[in-house]
Structure 1
Amino acid sequence: MAPAHLRHPPQAPPTFTATPQSVVADAERLLNTSRTIQDKLVGDIKPDDATFANVLRPLAQDENVMALEAHILGFYQAVSTDQKLRDASSKAEELMDEFFIEAVMREDVFKLVDAALNKNEDLDPESRRLLEKAHKDFVRNGLGLPAGPQRARFKEIKKRLSQLSIEFQKNLNEENGGIWFTPEELDGVPEDVTSGLKRGEGENAGKLWLTFKYPDLFPTMKYAKNSDVRKQVMVANENKCNQNVPLFREAIVLRDEAARLLGYPNHAAFRIEDKMAKTPETVDTFLGDLRARLTDGGKQEIQTLMKLKKELDPNSDDRYYLWDHRYYDRLMLERDFQLDHQLIAEYFPLQTTIQGMLKIFEELFGLEFVEIVGEDRAALAPTGQADDIVWHEDVQVFSVWNDEGEGSGFVGYLYLDLFPREGKYGHAANFNLQPGFIDAEGNRRFPATALVCNFTKPGPKKPSLLKHDEVVTLFHELGHGIHDLVSRTTYSRFHGTSTVRDFVEAPSQMLENWCWTPSQLRSLSRHYSTLSPEYLAGWQEAQQARSGGKTATAPPSERIPDDVIANLIRTKHVNDALFQLRQLHFGIFDMTVHEPKSHAEIEALPISATYNRLRQEITQMDGMEALSGGQEWGHGEATFGHLIGGYDAGYYGYLSSQVYSTDMFYTVFKDDPMNKAAGRRYRYQVLEKGGSQDEMKTLTEFLGREPQTTAFYKELGLA
């Protein structure tokens, strides 16, 4: 049990007791309060009297208080098991989005903000940044346009884009498709996957229901021996959300129209202007340079993989298909590098891996994580009901503290929601539930942040086991969570991961390097058979089945063996050109649809065909178009939530952030990843700042110089 002083946080955790009715009513109450504050400002203050203190501070304080409830009201749609509550959450988000659009297009409020900016008062840097950003928000939302038809049209577009975004993500969250296969068709797929699949009845008796959720999809693409099965799954997955196809097209066309109304040549120019890259030309040059450097490597990798395919399947044709890649990539790693992903996963049971990761963060950043369980949950819940401080029984919650060396104070709350369920957000992401800020009385409000992931559920004979790429994903998302927790900004607008999009991934990407460090991999590992007698018996049973009934060998080592780690690390960049080219496909497609030469061009663009054509050209892997399926065979853009959910004309940020993250790691951590002084410096110079200062300033201060691409290209073997 945690020491007494760590069992009583000074701030209660949020509660999750909403009903479908209360979610919408709470949203309306928040919006009415905000509207009243704005109306009062306009009624009480003349532009001549406008200052930061009497205009911006009340607006910022309202934004702070609103965020304590607003984030959670919109969060239910990603995690609730209640369809009606998810629908109400979507409705609440729509109401809030409409209000924010209205608020940022209020000319009367803008006049006050404009007057306050022109006063040129002496402000602290974060307040100055708030004032400038708020002013720019009004201009970028149409108040630079003359009042009349153009401004009205712009507002109409903004509202419609909000509706499209909510509907698109809702369709993805609600997606529950799949395919019935016989056990024979799924030959090769690991038993811990097939044993968890729904069994068919009636006409599907004897068959298994394979969904498109990650714990089903990825192992099937990696292990299913039948290439036709892999093809079916790939094609069906690309077409699992085709109701989003017209929504995507409408959003792309409307974004272009809105950007042109504001005087920009296209949506990319509008979006990138206030990012680190500043112009689409900078992005196109970066992506083009990377593509040129990677293309030959991709061709060589495909040649090697094709050779393996021909050896194992002499009757196959001479093409390397999209549905071949995960399968032959895995076989090559097993054959040429003796890398067994299933064996590695045995050393990474989910719960012990999480404990190990939290321990790394404790050591590096001076933190303590205390899981809140049993009677402590009820004691902390404002309602007195333990279940009220989580949204589902699977959810774990931790209070987070500074250790003694960092002053022992409270930091915030961390939630982990790790297993798939119907209606839940289908990828891995970090959600801010409540931001941190300084309240109107000058006291600190502490943040709450949630990791929402989809790992395989534990069974009676085996816990949830993480493949190495899932270990990396979990560490990455926890990195976002830590960024959210340790940030200390005055205003919620700049809290944590609220940075520009082409920097936001860098802190988490940098932390992924710990998952490729021998000492850290060893410390994270613990073979699942050592966790309980039941798991040991389950492991022995699995070994007997694998060896044809022979008695199981001696139990495995508790920690992952050094030779297995060495093999894993040797494979870090195997087939990496193809991996990076896949990322480039996403980034270049994103830029292609967001920087057309004319509005007529985007209206006429065949979006799905463009997505598939670019993928074939960039990754050099064939899809159904090679089997005369035409370029419209799949609609991958309809499953691409990033481009509707905030990464529009910004997906390149995953690649450009890698430049920054690799530079930071090589410069500061590579020689000694657990250096506490470096960890504390990273916490306070980078993570704590959030978006409260220019991100290039943050980077330059941490590195002691301007960032460089050298380490990035060296890491990829392209220097």
Structure 2
Amino acid sequence: MAGAKFQKPPQAPPLFTHTPESLLKAADRLLAQSKATTDKVVAANTPENATFQSVILPMARDDNHLSLESHIVGFYQAVSTDAKLRDASTEAEKKMDDFSIEASMREDVFQLVDAVFKKQKNDEKLDPESRRLLEKDHKGYIRMGLGVPAGPQRDRFKAIKKRLSELSITFQKNLNEEQGGLWFTPQELDGVPEDVMSNLQKGEAGTENEGKLRLTFKYPDLFPTQKYCKVVETRHKVFVENENKCNENIALFKEAIVLRDEAARILGYPNHATFRIEDKMAKTPKTVDDFLGDLKSRLAPGGVKEIAKLKELKKAETGKADNYFLWDHRFYDTLMLEKDFQLDQNRIAEYFPLQTSIEGMLKIFEELFGLLFVKVEGEDRKAISETGKGEDITWHPDVQIFSVWNDEGEGSGFVGYLYLDLHPRDGKYGHAANFNIQPGFITESGERRYPATALVCNFSKPSAKRPSLLKHDEVVTLFHELGHGIHDLVAKTIYSRFHGTNTVRDFVEAPSQMLENWCWTPSQIKSLSKHWSYLSPEYAEAWKESSKSTEQPPESMPDDLINNIVNTRHVNDALFNLRQLHFGIFDMTVHEAASHEEIKNLDASETYNRLRKEISKIDGPEALGEGFKWGHGQATFGHLIGGYDAGYYGYLSSQVYSADMFYSVFKKDPMNGKEGRRYRYLVLEKGGSRDEMESLKEFLGREPSTEAFYKELGVA
């Protein structure tokens, strides 16, 4: 990567120069343009003369062009520092969603699509991706209520879809803009690492918070406190307050699950889960329930054993262990790794400075997939910006940009743009995720339009005396999200509809999960590591000062530390996976009601907490006599409102595919470039342009198997 020279890409990157006014105007212009295209198609066709070329293709091309701006219009709400711009982005996204609902319920368009489908669904002249587009389009109209006779029921369905869009946007906005926090004395934060403490807001002199520090619920504050704070009352308070941080979302969540159920029943489905899963790899809720139930029964005994060991550790530390609480878990899990496995997370983090970790990861992707990543900085940004201003091609000064190319062996052509936005800010999306900014597709003239993709994360910021350092689990998170980014970059599809990570939800995590295995491979951990004291003479001095040592540590991570990491991969793994099962089973429970009345009467908070105790086996405040209404975790659970509804099981089921791919193909030689490229062509490049199971079977050379997954978990 370091040797890659800057060259000007054949396509300029997108601009981020919007104002709140221009953003709303852009949304109006895009929607007017789309409506004009659809109206023209309707005017020029009848069901008798309608063809794929005259009906489906113009609308698909309109989708392609629309996506170049529409993704950016909605992206600002996740990343902009300007509250007015975030609000405008939210409003624009709502307009676009409303328009999309209206457009996908147009009877006049559906009649044409239906006619084309009946005539051309088996047309051999259609290429396979176009045939898939026709099938998905046709099914999409039916799933939007056009199989329901026009009248009150269809009108009600449309009203529900619009309200669900509003709920989703507001729910996520509340999470992004959440500003909660708690004030603690330094004594109450005993054990929290110094680099975390030094970044906390200090109480002003003369106020009630003088001498105190403010802990937010953002990940760089929250996780280290739960892992290292020795004061149990602090951990307890932080845990419960974090579960109650977005209580305005409680009513929104409840309304969403009730409306989803009603909409599914209008379409003739018994519940929302049946409606959602029909088009996924699992096909039926029964398949999902059986998979989750089987996994639960396999993991539960291991979870009970793990808690017993953790209780022993708690007793040794405190002298009492009647209960093992939710706010105990991260603390004693971390302590066990330190005591029993000599895993010192803070020492490990010294070897994973954020910047060199990124460089190491990109180098792995270069070798595996035949890519080159060129960092675009300073004058080079001006050279590729359409306006000649380097600041116009990012949304924030912290954002890093890479132009991505194929290496010589892959033809040296341009691939796309990768953006990294890595540190927390007020109003920014609070987790780690990959956002498509512009998808790739083939233009009318047959040329390739190249994608742009962004990683939005929340790792601690560097300071003058120390760079941003990653714990090993953060290295895994970053590698996972970069995996989505690579999927987004290397995909090659005709239509933006199928580009990159636009696959079914119970497959989309598999490519990224498979790549996580590289973070547990000794040779790759070594290649990713570099002690932060080697980054600059200033950092070397700062390290000496803070460590009170004259002898600099080795530059790469020592083998004993690497072995400690690898040996702890499956420590308390049953409890980790039972936590994932809790999310998946809660998701299915609220979307699989036996009757509409049942979902209306369901208490989501109580259900969430009761299932948590039942599945994870760890005590919550209910063990202190507070009942099961002590928190509202579902109100902080963006996945279930943002597209993973009746789909969260996909995180677990796609691990079946990811484990199978890794163990069958890469385990022996993780850096096998020949297999890496084969994987790129057969799985990543296809995006959602063909049945994901077909891609998987072609890559594996057989049907996928659960064997590697259960073996990896130790429950085969």
Tell me the TM-score normalized by structure 2.
0.99
Query: Compared with structure 1, are the counterparts of its residues 543 and 599 closer, same or farther at alpha carbon in structure 2 (3 Å cutoff)?
Result: same
Residue 379 (structure 1) shift: 1.1
Letter in 1 for 2:391: D
Residue 240 (structure 2) aligns with: 235
Residue 376 (structure 1) aligns with: 380
Residue 5 (structure 1) shift: 7.5
SS state at 1:48 partner: coil
User: Structure 2 CA distance, aligned partners of 1:99 and 1:419?
Assistant: 34
User: Structure 1 CA distance, aligned partners of 2:18 and 2:293?
Assistant: 48
Residue 119 (structure 1) shift: 1.2
CA RMSD of aligned residues (A): 0.9
User: Structure 2 CA distance, aligned partners of 1:304 and 1:60?
Assistant: 57
Select the residue among 176, 182, 188 that pairs with 1:173: 176
SS state at 2:454 partner: strand
Q: Show the 5 A alignment for 1:325-474.
A: 325-474=329-478
> Does 2:262 correspond to 1:257?
yes
> Does 2:654 correspond to 1:651?
no
Cα displacement string for residues 503-532 of structure 1 (whole angstroms, at most 9, x for unaligned residues): 000000000000000000000000001111
User: Structure 2 CA distance, aligned partners of 1:353 and 1:82?
Assistant: 30
State the identity %.
71
User: Structure 2 CA distance, aligned partners of 1:5 and 1:429?
Assistant: 29
Q: Work out whether residues 526 and 560 of structure 1, in 8 Å CA contact, stay in contact via their aligned partners in 2.
A: yes
Residue 519 (structure 2) aligns with: 515
Q: Work out whether residues 244 and 638 of structure 1, in 8 Å CA contact, stay in contact via their aligned partners in 2.
A: yes
Residue 567 (structure 1) aligns with: 564
> Does 2:203 correspond to 1:200?
yes
User: Structure 2 CA distance, aligned partners of 1:517 and 1:65?
Assistant: 42
Cα displacement string for residues 658-683 of structure 1 (whole angstroms, at most 9, x for unaligned residues): 00000000000000000010000000
Residue 604 (structure 1) shift: 0.3
User: Structure 2 CA distance, aligned partners of 1:395 and 1:438?
Assistant: 28
Q: Show the 5 A alignment for 1:144-183.
A: 144-183=147-186
> Does 2:107 correspond to 1:107?
yes
Any gaps of 5 or more consecutive residues in structure 1?
545-551
User: Structure 1 CA distance, aligned partners of 2:539 and 2:294?
Assistant: 50
Residue 501 (structure 1) aligns with: 505
User: Structure 2 CA distance, aligned partners of 1:399 and 1:352?
Assistant: 18
> Does 2:24 correspond to 1:24?
yes
- How many equivalent residue pairs? 711
Deviates more, 1:232-241 or 1:110-119: 110-119
Residue 549 (structure 1) aligns with: none
Cα displacement string for residues 60-113 of structure 1 (whole angstroms, at most 9, x for unaligned residues): 000000000000000000000000000000001000000110111001001111
Select the residue among 702, 707, 710 that pairs with 2:704: 707
User: Structure 1 CA distance, aligned partners of 2:572 and 2:398?
Assistant: 36
Q: Work out whether residues 6 and 401 of structure 1, in 8 Å CA contact, stay in contact via their aligned partners in 2.
A: no
User: Structure 2 CA distance, aligned partners of 1:678 and 1:39?
Assistant: 47
Q: Show the 5 A alignment for 1:486-635.
A: 486-544=490-548, 552-635=549-632
Cα displacement string for residues 686-714 of structure 1 (whole angstroms, at most 9, x for unaligned residues): 00000000000010000000000000000
Segments ≥4 residues shifted beyond 2 Å: 1-6
Q: Work out whether residues 183 and 215 of structure 2, in 8 Å CA contact, stay in contact via their aligned partners in 1.
A: yes
> Does 2:190 correspond to 1:187?
yes
SS state at 2:564 partner: helix
Letter in 1 for 2:348: I
SS state at 2:188 partner: coil
Residue 689 (structure 2) aligns with: 692
Letter in 2 for 1:578: L
User: Structure 2 CA distance, aligned partners of 1:152 and 1:118?
Assistant: 26
Letter in 1 for 2:194: E
Letter in 1 for 2:593: P
SS state at 2:208 partner: helix
Residue 166 (structure 1) shift: 0.2
Letter in 2 for 1:679: G
User: Structure 2 CA distance, aligned partners of 1:2 and 1:440?
Assistant: 37
User: Structure 2 CA distance, aligned partners of 1:236 and 1:222?
Assistant: 16
Letter in 2 for 1:602: I
Q: Show the 5 A alignment for 1:668-679.
A: 668-679=665-676
User: Structure 2 CA distance, aligned partners of 1:609 and 1:652?
Assistant: 21
Residue 534 (structure 1) shift: 1.6
Query: Compared with structure 1, are the counterparts of its residues 641 and 400 closer, same or farther at alpha carbon in structure 2 (3 Å cutoff)?
Result: same
User: Structure 2 CA distance, aligned partners of 1:34 and 1:338?
Assistant: 60
User: Structure 2 CA distance, aligned partners of 1:86 and 1:343?
Assistant: 39
Q: Work out whether residues 531 and 553 of structure 2, in 8 Å CA contact, stay in contact via their aligned partners in 1.
A: yes
Tell me the TM-score normalized by structure 1.
0.98
Residue 542 (structure 1) shift: 2.0
Residue 6 (structure 1) shift: 4.4
User: Structure 2 CA distance, aligned partners of 1:496 and 1:317?
Assistant: 49
Letter in 1 for 2:34: S
Letter in 2 for 1:570: N
SS state at 1:210 partner: strand
Residue 541 (structure 1) shift: 2.1
User: Structure 2 CA distance, aligned partners of 1:3 and 1:522?
Assistant: 21
